[in-house]
Chain A
C-alpha cells in the first residue's frame, strides 16, 4: 500500500464525522461574532488554536470579560487530553523527522485522533501510518475552516427553527458518554456537572475551573471502587 492510498484512506474515513463537525464550526463562527470578536479574529482563531471545544469556551469567556489567566487556564485544561493522544501515538511517530512531528502535532485533534488511532492499532508495523493521520487531520482542518467562515458570514441569519445552540452540549455529550466506563468516571462526570450548577453564579467564569477540580478530585478518590467492581 503506497502513501497516497493511505492518505486518501485517512480522508475518506474522516469525512463522515464532518456531519457533526460542520454545524459545530458554524456555531463557533456565529458565537465568536456575537461575543464581540472581529471576523478576522474569529476566522484566524480556527487556525491558531484549532480546537473546537476550546474555541467555544474561549468566546464564552471573552463574552463574559474573563481575565486572560482564566482564559488560558481553561483552554489548557480543555486541551490537556491532547497530551494523552500524543503520548499514545509516541511509538508510531517518534521516528519521523521533526517537521513531520510538528505538522502532525498541530493536526492532532479529537476527530483525527479517533479515526487514525484505530488504523495505527490495526497495522502497527506499517511505516506509512503518518500519511493516514495527515489525511484525517487535513480533512478536519479544511472542514473546520470552511465551517467557521460559513458561521461568520451567516451571523445571526439562521432560520429560527434551527436552534443550533443545542448542538454544542449534544456533541460533547456524544463524545463523553462512551468514555464513562467505570464508577469513578461516572462519579467524576456527575460531580463536575452538578457542582457547575452550584458554582454557576460565580464571577469570572470560575465555575468551569471549580467544577473541573471537584470532578477531578472525586474521580481520583473513587478510582479504588473500579478495582472492586
Chain B
C-alpha cells in the first residue's frame, strides 16, 4: 500500500506540473479560479508551520517557554526585511540554536 501511495503521489505531482505544458488545456483560467489558486500554497503550508512550532501540544497552549516560536518571530522579521530564503533560514536557525543552548529554559 505504501508503494502504491508513493507511485500515485508521484504520478499526480507530475500531472500537476505537466498539464499546463501539455497543450491540451486553454492557456487562460477563469479569474476566480486563478485568484483562488494563489492562496493554496499559503493555506497548505501554514498549518504545517503552526504544527511544527509546537504551539499547541496535548491540549496545552505552549507559548512562554517556546523557543521555536520566538525564533520564528525573529525569522518573520528577517523575511519581511530581506525577502531572502537563505538569510531567513540562517538567522532563524542561528537564533534557535543560540537560545536553546544558552538559555536555561
The stretch of A74-82, A117-125, A145-153 that contacts the partner chain: A74-82
In the complex, whether B103 has a CB less than 8 A from a CB of chain A is: no
Q: In the complex, which residues of chain A have a beta carbon less than 8 angstroms from the beta carbon of B105?
A: none
Q: Are B29 and A101 in contact (CB under 8 A)?
A: no
A4 within 8 A of B: no
Q: How many residues on B have C-beta within 8 angstroms of the other chain's C-beta atoms?
A: 64
Q: How far is the CA of A42 from the CA of B39 in the complex (A)?
A: 30
Per the bound structure, the CA–CA distance linking A193 and B47 in Å amounts to: 5
A108: interface (CB < 8 Å): yes
Minimal beta-carbon separation of A216 from chain B (angstroms): 5
Q: Which residues of the other chain, A, contact B13 by a CB distance below 8 angstroms?
A: 49-51, 54, 75-76, 79, 82
A183 at the interface (CB under 8 A from B): no
User: Is B48 a contact of A62 with CB atoms below 8 Å?
Assistant: no
What does the 1/0 interface line of B13-46 toward A look like (CB < 8 Å)?
1101111111100010100000111111111111
* Alpha-carbon separation in the docked complex, A214 to B38 (Å): 15
A212 at the interface (CB under 8 A from B): yes
Query: Within the assembled complex, what's the spacing in Å between the Cα atoms of A102 and B3?
Result: 23
Q: Shortest distance in angstroms between A109's beta carbon and chain B's nearest beta carbon?
A: 8
Known pairs A17-B85, A90-B27, A166-B68; A177 contacts B44 (CB<8 A): no
Q: Does A171 contact B (CB under 8 A)?
A: yes
Check A215/B88 contact, CB under 8 A, given A76-B16, A87-B20, A101-B21: no
A175 part of interface (Cβ distance < 8 Å): yes
**Complex interface residues of chain B between 73 and 105 (CB less than 8 A to chain A):** 75-76, 79-80, 83, 85-86, 88-90, 92-93, 96-97, 100-101
Would you mind naming 12 contact pairs between A and B with Cβ atoms under 8 Å apart?
A45-B6, A48-B7, A62-B5, A75-B9, A76-B12, A83-B16, A89-B21, A101-B18, A169-B53, A173-B72, A184-B39, A208-B47
Q: Interface on B for A, CB 8 Å cutoff? A: 1-10, 12-14, 16-23, 27, 29, 35-53, 55-56, 59, 68, 71-72, 75-76, 79-80, 83, 85-86, 88-90, 92-93, 96-97, 100-101
| Residues of chain A having any CB pair with chain B under 8 Å | 16-17, 19-20, 37, 41, 44-45, 48-51, 53-54, 56-58, 62, 68, 71-72, 74-87, 89-90, 93-94, 101-102, 104-106, 108, 161-163, 165-180, 184-185, 188-189, 192-197, 200-201, 207-208, 211-212, 214-216, 219-220, 223
